[in-house]
Homo-oligomer: A and B are copies of this chain.
Amino acid sequence: MTAFPLPQRPMPAAKPGEFCFSAAGLAHGHIVGMTRGLLEAGATLASVWDEDPQKVAAFVRAFPQAHPARCLDELLGAPDVRLVASAAVPSERCALGLRVMAAGKDYFVDKAPVTTLEQLERARLAASKTGRKYMVYYSERLHSEAATFADLLIRSGEIGRVIHMDGFGPHRLGAASRPDWFFDKARYGGILCDIGSHQLEQFLYFTGSQDARVLSARACNLAHPEHPGLEDFGDCTVTAPNGATGYFRVDWFTPDGLSTWGDGRTFIVGTDGFVELRKYVDLASGRPGGNMVYWANRHGEFRFNAEGQVGCPFFSRLIRDCIERTENAMTQEHAFRAAQLCLEAQALADRAH
């Protein structure tokens, strides 16, 4: 690879007890990744709550330091808790966030952060009124060392100006282990709103765009008639004001023989080169693990295994943002704008039916 300095892996952003958070709403397993990311960045886990005691018990087994709150109000009333992380059912995330923010705490919610434009409007208003954050765990960028490294490459000018991004977000269905809400579109929001949100967030980020226009969108159920509420395939094209274009597809067709939950890829095309991220598996390569970054530019073809090399600076930045009221991890507008694009894409796909 061409020479540029690798960054230090992120240092803890807070001393023990300096930045306490709680987990509330454990419907999606992403809460584990969110919690781990915060803990590794130096946050202190105070308490946990969910309406399902079994989910709370499983969480406490994984994170014994978490005190099980008797009710949400107890958790929200704890003065030392500065941030509440949630992976509630998508359609319920906004309502929870409004309570969190009204309680004077920042909110860190799994994607998709909202499932309707009305929720988005309420979240925007609450963020503006309370000054609290409504941050979103767009994990396929924020919790991916391949994405961290790609960001470095791009910022170093290795591929010139970014003109296009493709994202593939295939996921394993595992229908038998999914809860009811997973098959209820009103609750998960549709495939473009749900797993499509990762893709549109990455498009905005990697193309350096504050906004984009959805040009086309599709969402459908191609092969799962036994789950009529499931959208098993979706895709979308977008255009940024600077002319950069994007495409993504998402689906629930990861085959059983794949060694991980999905062969997630990101392709970023620049005027002077391109980057490919093989995020979770380097298909049939014999190399275990993901986080492989491949690229080509004026100087040659390169690859780099980012696993364990560059970390995920989002979490430490988020902690400092919450403490210092800055926006270095992610701006509020970016988080909301990505969510809005997803809703627009989903609405366009829905209108085609």
Residues of chain A at the chain B interface (Cβ within 8 Å): 159, 161, 163-164, 166, 168, 170, 215-216, 218, 220, 222-223, 233, 235, 237, 239, 243, 245, 247, 249, 251, 253, 255-259, 263, 267, 269-274, 276, 281, 283-285, 294-303
**Closest CB in chain B relative to A102 CB, distance in Å:** 42
18 additional A-B pairs beyond A166-B166, A256-B298, A284-B303, beta carbons within 8 Å, are A163-B223, A164-B235, A166-B168, A218-B245, A247-B249, A255-B272, A255-B297, A255-B298, A257-B297, A257-B299, A257-B301, A263-B274, A276-B283, A281-B301, A283-B294, A283-B301, A284-B294, A285-B303
Among residues of B, the one whose C-beta sits closest to the C-beta of A302 is: B284
Residues of chain B within 8 A of A294, CB atoms compared: 283-284
A220-B168 Cα distance, complex, nearest whole Å: 23
Minimum distance in angstroms from A94 CB to a CB of chain B: 31
Give the CA-CA distance A245 to B270 in the complex, in Å.
Answer: 26
* Cβ–Cβ < 8 Å partners of A263 in chain B: 274, 296
Chain B residues whose C-beta falls within 8 Å of the C-beta of A161 in the assembled complex: 223
Rounded to whole angstroms, the CA-CA distance of A228 and B285 in the bound complex is 42
Q: CB < 8 Å: which of B218, B243, B249, B301 contacts A215? A: B218
Measured between beta carbons, the chain B residues less than 8 angstroms from A237 are: 216, 218, 235, 237, 247
Given contacts A245-B233, A283-B301, A296-B283, contact A271 B216 (CB under 8 A): no
Please indicate the chain B residues that have their CB under 8 angstroms from the CB of A300 in the complex.
257
Find out whether the CB atom of A243 lies under 8 angstroms from the CB atom of B272.
Answer: no
Q: Is the CB of B296 within 8 A of A257?
A: yes
Query: Within the complex, what minimum Cβ distance (angstroms) separates A343 from chain B?
Result: 19
Q: Give 6 pairs: A residue, B residue, CB < 8 Å, sorted on A.
A: A161-B223, A166-B166, A170-B274, A253-B274, A257-B297, A284-B301
